[in-house]
Structure 1
């Protein structure tokens, strides 16, 4: 990496650190690119040299954060035991425990997913292939083990569980619920969905 690339990477890191703090304390919608630049100690133009939009900044902030979570999940997931419901519950509980460390930031990430003006440079909640893949693999494995009906619509199951997971963050926003409370509710939701995908003889 030459000097120019090193300087650009350092600028990029300062922008991401500043944005992460502002999105959490001020709010994503309320934070301007100018404020991000000011807190990062760089020119506004330098922000746009590194990122195409504020949405892309948020996407990268979340991607960087989630690397730590997925490294942990990659280590733990192969060792999860129990039914498909048990394993799904564990995966979501780990997500809640991680994301509630910075709840306002994750709420901004969810909210940005409903912004129709987002361009292709951003990766909002719902397009995350890692979480979707984990859920898909868990349910597919449940099918192999005879816990999930052969004709179950796995993509629909994934979408339903992703929606329930995100919706439960309302409890963190409105009632300051912690990860234990949210995980307990998610476990019930998973069990309810599982009644729909169970083989008919086991339903």
Structure 2
């Protein structure tokens, strides 16, 4: 039983690595289960024994990447300083830096999330509780320190920030993934400054 579990775990890891690379190289729509199996060196049947669909593979690839991203945040968050706007800018800059390492993979995830066919196996883009809570924590602290108006709907503010963050990936999509993270972060900084005009106490 232990050997079989080890083999299944090894197959799963091979499939996720192969899928991650293919989604990043050719996109989600163009990647087939057969191509994933060939790249992973396993049978098509082995892929379907481990995952119910290509969409589920994508969701697991992105979840695995989030674990890597938030390991970075665990190291950085205690050292974030400055105003609410400064800390939010740092959080989004780290996200851009991380996602642009495989920007086509991230764009594939966004595209699959908004596919009108609506594959139920896809965990939609934006359902990231860790990022959501991180942003809420910064804004909530801003309320306590008098930087952010206490009458605001903080979740709506978080949704607005995440929308701006996602919108900036249009630059990556238009350039074939060649826009540096610093360029998207610079745009996000300006957007945060604009949004901050609305959250400051009057």
In the superposition, the TM-score normalised over structure 2's length comes to 0.94
Q: Aligned-pair distance for 1:154?
A: 0.8
Deviations 1:84-130 (A, max 9, x none): 000000000011111111110111111122135231x4323200111
RMSD: 1.3
Would the aligned equivalents of 1:113 and 1:126 in 2 still touch at CA under 8 Å?
no
Matched, 1:45 2:45: yes
User: In 2, Cα distance between the equivalents of 1:81 and 1:49?
Assistant: 47
Report the alpha carbon displacement of residue 47 of structure 1 after superposing the two structures with TM. 1.0
What does residue 31 of structure 2 align with?
Answer: 31
Whether contact under 8 Å (1:85, 1:191) holds in the other structure is yes
Matched residues in 1 for 2:152 and 2:67: separation?
31
Would you say the 8 A contact 2:113–2:122 is kept in 1?
Answer: no
Q: Which runs of 5+ in 2 are unaligned?
A: none
**Are 2:174 and 1:191 equivalent residues in the alignment?**
no
Partner of 1:180: 182
Q: Distance in 2 between matches of 1:118 and 1:157?
A: 29
Flag as ranges the 4+ runs of structure 1 deviating above 3 A. Answer: none
Distance 1:45 1:160 in 2: 42
In structure 2, what is the Cα distance between the partners aligned to 1:61 and 1:180?
25
Alignment of 1:1-203 (within 5 A): 2-116=2-116, 117-119=118-120, 121-175=121-175, 176-200=178-202
Partners of 1:185 and 1:144 lie apart in 2 by 28
Structure 1 gaps of 5+ residues are none
Q: What is the TM-score of this pair, normalised by structure 1? A: 0.93
How many residue pairs end up in the alignment? 199
* SS of residue matched to 1:82: coil
